[in-house]
Structure 1
């Protein structure tokens, strides 16, 4: 009975274990089937849902891109008025910011000392002239006596030598007087040209020395704008000018003058961002490149009839640069890695491919580039959802909508 009971218990125990093993195996099979079904349905879902992306077709454009350069604005004439001698400031005839005319007195320095020098030089000149007159009379007197053979020729020659010395003394006295008058004239300091008086650091009663700055005079009837370009920009500009000269070799003088009058006008943007109402023209450039930056300065002349711009102001010169057969790539269609920009192009099989490019410059919200082909299809938006070689459904977007912000002629 005990053996039978033990066998039954052993059989039940083994049966229970076997049932448990079957249950576990069943669960694994069901789970695998469930996962397989889910994976299969997911793949079918991905294959079924192809991402739709907006796409636009690239066409070459001829555009005018505004180029701006930071510039320094300077008066056409800017002169430091300095004292040429030492003295006290006795009188100031003008005020800071006042407009003056050429030759108008600005300052009066103490002049008593220089008046005395003029008086002394005048007296010496009068003395020299008197001595020269006496020597001339002596020569005339001796001529008569020599003719009568009362005196020898040697006496006459001696008198003539004294007359020549007296004449040279007159020349010396005149030179001293002239220098004294020049020194006296330096005590009255006058405006060198029509302009505006700057700050006056020395007031009445101040002692100034030779070379001290009394004020500045600026002529701002016109303004020079100096800006710098790189060596590559210089070469591009000069090649364009040389081509113009070659094309105009057979033109007559009247036509050339007309072309010069029709030279491109340059705009000026002031520091507050407002465009200056008057246009300027490029005049000249420096002779050498700056060693530190490798750039060269150009000069543009602007009229300033209202006196709005002051010497030392800042701004930006702006000109139009015509670019032919270029492609405009919206910045939102690109992403950047290190020195390159990238876009997604859609091929004939509707697969996207990453394409790198280096933009020439920016124009509004667009990159200007050349290294593309006509009819290349670029993904406009949604590039963060794409992967290389992925299949997409293109949704064509018209040029008018893409380039709306630029108002381009299409």
Structure 2
């Protein structure tokens, strides 16, 4: 008896201690109050007109890139520009030795005078032959011969004039001028060199026009179809379909201070990439944009109506995707899974999951649990939008 009592004594003491500690805690929980509902901020969402934008990697190309070539051969006498400088259309760039072409012009001018003299004589002979035929003192055969000679000499005069014109052009071509405004490259042939007119020996320099410049990038087929559909919808409603504008940004994040306009879209998809080639034109007065430069192009000018946008601060990520908390009529937080579109300036476009008038929790989201009562303070949407 004593042994059993000794053996069970620690168990009795331990049980008594457990009860002693647990009873006060249970009594405190039973007598305490439930925590207050978390304070949150909610905003009622409403459909609105939203400006869309699309971003692409783009590359700058010159508006025009022209090779300046010699049109006549000879000794290159002089270069009249500084390599890499800006030139104007019509400005004299090179001079080719004009002496051979001056001599050729003098020769063909003399031939023209000779042909004109022969033609004048043949005209007089033809008139005289016609007079003699009229007087019946000469045969018609002699008259016909005189008239044929007159016509042949007239053709010779025309040919001589063409030779003179060709010689004048060749003499003009000894002065090589800039065909466009732009910046020159290095000279390809030094002064004193003999140049020709074939492809291998006629190149003198190149001129690149960099104001304006082109921006080249590509739409995906899906984006191209979406943009076209949205623009057509606006036109069908009698609304103005804005021109597609392009904003450029550089690698350091700075934004270019001029806007471009899309002026060309390819009519077919690239078979290798499945994209649609697009080109925009943009002013470049300060020459900040260089041909070959990579930039980031943002296309704007597309709007969509009756669209719900929520601020990014309201979004939560769950096992099944993104969702928001909506305060229902009972003042409780309700989970709403969302199907989102693209990100815009005011937040994210909601494709499905929300209705007009839904009160979306935008602040205090991390304090909320599904089905929990919340103390929501309503505010205007614009105050909660985060860029």
Shift of 1:321: 5.6
Describe the SS at the equivalent of 2:206.
strand
CA distance in structure 2 between the aligned counterparts of 1:169 and 1:338, rounded to whole angstroms: 94
Shift of 1:146: 5.9
Shift of 1:356: 1.8
Partner residue in 1 for 2:93: 106
Which ranges of structure 2 fall in alignment gaps of 5 or more residues?
none
Among 113, 118, 122, which residue is 1:126 paired with? 113
Partner residue in 1 for 2:85: 97
CA distance in structure 2 between the aligned counterparts of 1:339 and 1:225, rounded to whole angstroms: 40
Partner residue in 2 for 1:342: 323
C-alpha distance 144-52 of structure 1, shift in aligned 2 (>3 A): closer
C-alpha distance 399-228 of structure 1, shift in aligned 2 (>3 A): farther
Shift of 1:83: 1.1
Aligned residue pairs, count? 368
**Alignment map for 1:33-112 (pairs within 5 Å):** 48-49=34-35, 52-60=38-46, 62=48, 65=51, 67=53, 69=55, 78=64, 80-85=66-71, 86-95=73-82, 96-100=84-88, 102-112=89-99
Contact kept? 2:60, 2:213, Cα under 8 Å:
yes
Shift of 1:56: 0.5
Cα deviation code 1:134-156 (max 9, x no counterpart): 54455456556667777644344
Cα deviation code 1:359-401 (max 9, x no counterpart): 33334473232531244333335555655x4x43413234259
Among 215, 218, 222, which residue is 2:209 paired with? 218
Higher helix share: 1
**Alignment map for 1:246-261 (pairs within 5 Å):** none
Which ranges of structure 1 fall in alignment gaps of 5 or more residues?
1-13, 246-258
Cα deviation code 1:120-141 (max 9, x no counterpart): 4334333433443454455456
CA distance in structure 1 between the aligned counterparts of 2:97 and 2:364, rounded to whole angstroms: 81
**Alignment map for 1:347-358 (pairs within 5 Å):** 347-349=328-330, 351-358=332-339
Describe the SS at the equivalent of 2:40.
strand
CA distance in structure 1 between the aligned counterparts of 2:276 and 2:375, rounded to whole angstroms: 47
Contact kept? 2:262, 2:281, Cα under 8 Å:
yes
Partner residue in 2 for 1:239: 233
Shift of 1:325: 4.4
Higher strand share: 2
Among 288, 293, 297, which residue is 2:278 paired with? 297
Among 341, 347, 361, which residue is 2:342 paired with? 361
TM-align CA RMSD: 4.7
Shift of 1:45: 10
Contact kept? 1:269, 1:318, Cα under 8 Å:
no
Shift of 1:357: 1.4
C-alpha distance 359-160 of structure 1, shift in aligned 2 (>3 A): same
CA distance in structure 1 between the aligned counterparts of 2:74 and 2:318, rounded to whole angstroms: 69
Contact kept? 1:53, 1:380, Cα under 8 Å:
no
**Rg larger in structure:** 1
Shift of 1:324: 4.7
TM-score by length of 1: 0.67
**Alignment map for 1:6-405 (pairs within 5 Å):** 16=3, 18-19=4-5, 21-23=7-9, 26=12, 29=15, 48-49=34-35, 52-60=38-46, 62=48, 65=51, 67=53, 69=55, 78=64, 80-85=66-71, 86-95=73-82, 96-100=84-88, 102-139=89-126, 152-192=139-179, 195-202=181-188, 204-205=190-191, 207=195, 209-210=197-198, 212=203, 214-216=205-207, 218=209, 220=211, 230-231=223-224, 232-244=226-238, 268=247, 271=250, 273-274=254-255, 276=257, 284-286=263-265, 288-291=267-270, 292-295=273-276, 297=278, 299=280, 307=286, 312=291, 316=297, 319=300, 324-336=305-317, 340-349=321-330, 351-364=332-345, 366-369=347-350, 371=352, 372-381=354-363, 383-384=365-366, 389=370, 391-400=371-380, 403-404=383-384
CA distance in structure 1 between the aligned counterparts of 2:156 and 2:206, rounded to whole angstroms: 41
Partner residue in 2 for 1:8: none
